[in-house]
Chain A
Amino acid sequence: MTAAERSTPVDAHPGSTGTAESTDEDRAVLELDGVTRQFGSETAVSDLSLRVQDGELLTLLGPSGCGKTTTLRLLAGLDEPDAGRIRVAGETVAGEGTFIKPEERDVGLVFQEFALFPHLTVGENVAFGIQDRSDDEIDQRVTDLLELVGLGDYADASPEDLSGGQRQRVALARSLAPEPDVLLLDEPFSNLDVGLREEMRREVRRIIKETGVTAVSVTHDQEEALSISDRVAVIDDGGIEQIGRPEVVFQQPESRFVAEFLGQAGFVSGTLEEGSVDTPLGCLDADRIEGLDAEYEGADVDVLVRPDDIRAVPADPAGTNGRIVDRQYTGPSFVYTVELDSGAVLHCEHNHAEELGIDKRVRVRLATDHPLAWFPAE
């Protein structure tokens, strides 16, 4: 990606977007350098470099087939990279001619479908990875972990008798038992009922933070990524598009892909002239657009607007700038699709009580104070 395709970096503080992490190298528990994995002619992971700090929870976020699960398997040792190097706690586990087998890595993995051993009890599942300890130690560790995940009374239960959320707690306890340097979570919430997900997101984050383990999770669900992570890495086509704190990645996407993947994105175009951009939504002061400096004078830009940034209101026919072409009722809110007279299609989210009919002419206006992101016009 060339600089011209991006907006300028928006976060002036080194470290907070992850761009200057190398200064913290001594604290990095997990390091990936130029990791590449190909299947035949298909490149699943391409030249991926990444550092995860001690105790940090990082989420790899991307669409199906973007290479995030492959990355996880490479970290666990279930697959071998074709190029690049992976280091865990300072030790090279893959690359440079070495390959440490999964059983010899201090890396835990919580599987998407949890992969609990059906022929063992909950307690035996948790004890599976710590057989090298004494019986007393094993008992103690199993008890402690089941307490931690809130299943103190379930040691003798069979995994088959557990609910989805309970199974996930057991899977988590099992992976944490051998005290791994890094804990990996593969789509941790995709197998849970929607109602349970929110609770488990909080629980999983609590448990991970309580143990202080360094964790990497992968998901295609942007809400999940944004809500549980310390940092989010957006992945596409096997490479990192952007990495940083959830709110930064959401508000200041560095590419259109990131903008569109993290939520319904709409764009309004205009040209920067004398400190303002004339868009279909009205004239926007360049100050409101992050990093749009005078040096871009005369540039055609697309400004990102999300559904909660704009409002559609009924107005005199002369004052309208668009027409409602679709609406979706989600319960708490209506999401209206508005086709502007300029041709741009935007989504705006309204309170569920505010009802507008399809085909109604409306005036769409900006209803936010936070800085907006922009991209060079395509």
Chain B
Amino acid sequence: MSREGRVGDLRKRLSRAPGLGRPSGLTLLSAAIAVALVAPLGWLFVEVLDLGPRALELTLDPRTIEILLRSVALVAIVTTASVLVGVPIALLTARTDLPFARLFTVLAALPLAIPSYLGALAVLSAFGTGGVLTDVLAPLGIEQLPEIDGFAGAAIVLTLYTYPYVLLTTRASLLSLDTSLIEAARTLDAGRLEAFRRVTLPQIAPGIAAGALLVALYTLADFGTPNFMGVEVFTQAIYARYNTTMRPWAALLSLQLLAVTVGILYLESKVGADDEGAYQSRGTSGGAVIELGNWRYVAALFPAVVTGLAVALPVIVFGLWLTSDAGGYTAGGLAFSWSYGWNSVYLAGLAAGASLLVALPVAVAAARGRSRLANLADRAAYVGYATPGIVLAFALVLFALNTLPLSYRETAYNLLLVLVFAYVVRFVPQAIGAIRTATMQVDGRLIEAARTLGRTRIEGFRAVTLPLIAPGIATGAALVFLTTMKELPVTLLLRPFWFDQTLVTYIWKVREAGLYGRASVPALALIAISALSMAVILSQEGSNT
């Protein structure tokens, strides 16, 4: 080994404190937590094994194959469409003199925070005969708008709410791209378009791919939109069968859905997208701005229309419901109660608190320990994140049914243990990510300094690390809180009977009853919460750079 290599190797080993490299209690705890988070998925296998030879038969059933093909088709179409929408907006906002580029950057990213089922709800009621928009546009002579629902409706809505993944990753690649490369290409007599094709595109391709794969994962896992639009894809089919005699079939579909998810994750690892670097811009843009001249106002129409549909339309539709009695939407029972909002806050608070208890040891071990076990625990926690909510909820139902005696099971449900556990599994990686990033930014020598000044490791953690990572902890808790507020399938399946509606389940219920107008207040509240989550994410990115 060369001297340099040896020195580097040595330095790496030196940079850890004694004892932390060996699997410490902290690491073991975090590993145990990770196992607990992942274990329930095993019950899906048990359920399918019970089927015996019927499993193969069901797999080859035309209806199963149809669901698989429809799901894959939806993923393919939404992913392609997201690239076609996201990449041009990224180019426009990052590389041209588009008017209001900064405003459009924020606006165009906003749909990411809004749950797509709200968009589906808005689109469903805005278009079609007797839709909200028809009423508004009637004075202008437009009396008939096309119905938007079914497969096409789901594809449009999902594209509107997932293209920001592509936008953000592409934008990050564009911003970190060394613009002198493009200038170099131009001096080598490549035209603007040729330079884009031969220099820019190959460099931002990994960014586009990373965003596209996130879109694919979201589309595959999304529960609300296909249900609202009436499209029989995996998530919808699993829900339709989970508490009937067709439960084993639902388990089989769940495993298939997981398999497709793993396939997509495998693709993601192949293109080398990592969830840490993907969004981080290095802020070294500057130079090489393409001047569009007067075309810039025409170009601005594109992001304006897209964000108008994704952000403004729901606000307008829900706003109209609020202010008018249009279409008799408010008739009938199921009156909205503000206590539903409180219920949402209560559950989200529990989820955030529980997530912090789990996230702190895992994140600190992953940031400090550097042992293989700690990293594995950290990675394992992300399995829950990639698992579609409906699959996780279903797996937990099976787990509770098969392992807990009735009385315990009821207690677990009633104490919200199952529900909060599911929230933690789903969303704890957000908290882990925020806390781990904060912890890694704390110089390890500060802890060593504290120790040479007479503090034990735990005292040092309290006196030095904890105050320094407090903002990261707050961000993590806020992210879990806000995403829990918007969560649909887990809340729907695991909420105990005694627990009243939340904002989300109430929306689900009035939609089932066809009383869309009732959803206006909770839907607007959820959009406000979405805006808040976006603000949290942006502030986190700001503090990272």
Contacts and interface: CB of A to CB of B under 8 A. Distances in A.
Contact of A115 (B446, B454, B468): B446
Nearest to A113: B445
A129 B453 contact: yes
Q: Which of B14, B450, B454 has the most CB of A within 10 A?
A: B454
Contacts, number: 88
A70 B6 CA distance: 14
B61 interface: no
Interface stretch (A101-109, A224-232, A254-262, A288-296): A101-109
Contacts of A101: 451, 456
A129 B449 CA distance: 9
B448 interface: yes
B84 to A, nearest CB: 46
B18 interface: yes
Interface string B462-484: 01100110000000000000000
Contacts of A77: 451-452
Q: Which of B445, B459, B460 has the most CB of A within 10 A?
A: B445
Interface string B406-446: 00000000000000000000000000000000000001011
Interface string A32-72: 00000001101010000000000000000000110001100
B18 A78 contact: yes
Given A44-B10, A70-B14, A103 B445 contact: no
A42 B448 contact: no
A103 B13 contact: no
Contact of A128 (B14, B448, B453): B453
B452 A76 contact: yes
A129 B459 CA distance: 12
B60 interface: no
A76 B445 CA distance: 12
B454 A129 contact: yes
Nearest to B13: A39
Contact of B450 (A65, A119, A128, A177): A128
A111 B18 contact: no
B448 A78 contact: yes
SS class of chain A's interface: helix, strand, loop or mixed?
Answer: loop
Contacts of B3: 65
A154 interface: no
Interface residues of A, number: 37
B454 A111 contact: no
B511 interface: no
A178 interface: yes
Interface in B133-164: none
Q: Which of A40, A102, A175, A178 has the most CB of B within 10 A?
A: A102
B455 interface: yes
Given A78-B18, A101-B456, A111 B10 contact: no
Contacts of B13: 39-40
B17 interface: yes
A109 B450 contact: no
B372 to A, nearest CB: 15
A39 B446 CA distance: 23
Contacts of B460: 103
B452 A108 contact: yes
Contact of A118 (B10, B450, B463, B468): B468
A73 interface: yes
A79 interface: yes
Contacts of B464: 117, 119
Given A103-B451, A108-B452, A109-B452, A115 B18 contact: no
Contact of B9 (A42, A64, A78, A177): A42
B9 A117 contact: no
B444 to A, nearest CB: 9
Interface in A112-128: 112-113, 115, 117-119, 128
Contacts of A118: 468
Nearest to B19: A80
A367 B423 CA distance: 82
Contact of B17 (A64, A78, A103, A112): A78
Contacts of A361: none
A174 interface: yes
B446 A117 contact: yes
Contacts of A40: 13
B7 interface: yes
A65 B452 contact: no
A75 to B, nearest CB: 10
Given A113-B443, A175-B452, A80 B467 contact: no
Contacts of B7: 64-65
Interface string A149-187: 000000000000000000000000011011000000000
Given A70-B14, A73-B14, A79-B18, A102 B9 contact: no
Contacts of B448: 76, 78, 102, 109, 111, 115
B445 A111 contact: yes
A234 to B, nearest CB: 18
Contacts of B453: 103, 108, 128-129, 174-175, 177-178
Given A64-B7, A65-B3, A119-B467, A102 B452 contact: yes
A103 B454 CA distance: 4
Interface in B13-28: 13-14, 17-18
Contacts of A65: 3, 6-7, 10-11
A54 B401 CA distance: 72
A129 B454 CA distance: 6
Contacts of B459: 103
A94 to B, nearest CB: 11
A104 B11 CA distance: 25
Contacts of A175: 452-453
Contacts of B6: 42, 65
Interface of A: 39-40, 42, 44, 64-65, 69-70, 73, 76-80, 101-105, 107-109, 111-113, 115, 117-119, 128-129, 131-132, 174-175, 177-178
26 contacts: A39-B13, A40-B13, A42-B6, A42-B9, A65-B11, A70-B14, A73-B14, A78-B17, A78-B448, A79-B14, A101-B451, A102-B448, A102-B452, A103-B453, A103-B454, A104-B454, A111-B448, A111-B449, A113-B443, A115-B443, A128-B453, A128-B455, A129-B452, A131-B454, A174-B453, A178-B454
The 7 A-B residue pairs with the shortest CB-CB distance, nearest first, are: A129-B453, A65-B7, A102-B451, A115-B445, A115-B449, A109-B452, A39-B13
